[in-house]
Amino acid sequence: NGPRAAAEAVMRSLLHNPGVLWWAPDQGHNIQNYLHGFFDKERIELAVAQQAEREERVEEASVTATILGQELSLRVDLVLTQTAAKVTFTLNIGSLGEVINATISG
């Protein structure tokens, strides 16, 4: 459906660098790059929100980033442009850059 497709598009854009997707070469912000550097919560939240809002179906994004041991956890709340629906997704990325868990609700 529309909300889930928008959330999946945003999630996909957070898991690779720009230029990887041939149909959207300007999309991408690989959150795995944050895993082994200094964890700046505000910087990550701002970067993820800005990337999410580049998706044409997203009007506004609110992001909460946390470190759980060696994992990066993101909760992203999206307000969509074409419906009154809101959708939330979470991503948990492990120390090796693998997606440990990803869920979408809303």
Model pLDDT for residues 1-49, shown as the tens digit of each residue:
689 999 999 998 998 888 777 777 777 888 887 777 666 889 899 999 9
| Tokens linked to 68 | 């759980």
Task: Report the predicted TM-score, pTM, of the whole model to 2 decimal places.
Answer: 0.86
- Which of 1, 88, 80, 71 minimizes the C-alpha distance to 32? 71
Report the Cα 19 to chain-centroid distance in Å.
17
Model pLDDT for residues 47-79, shown as the tens digit of each residue:
999 999 999 999 999 999 998 777 889 999 999
- The whole-number pLDDT of residue 18 equals 82
Q: What are phi and psi of 15, to 5 degrees?
A: -110, 10
- Which of 88, 85, 90 minimizes the C-alpha distance to 105? 88
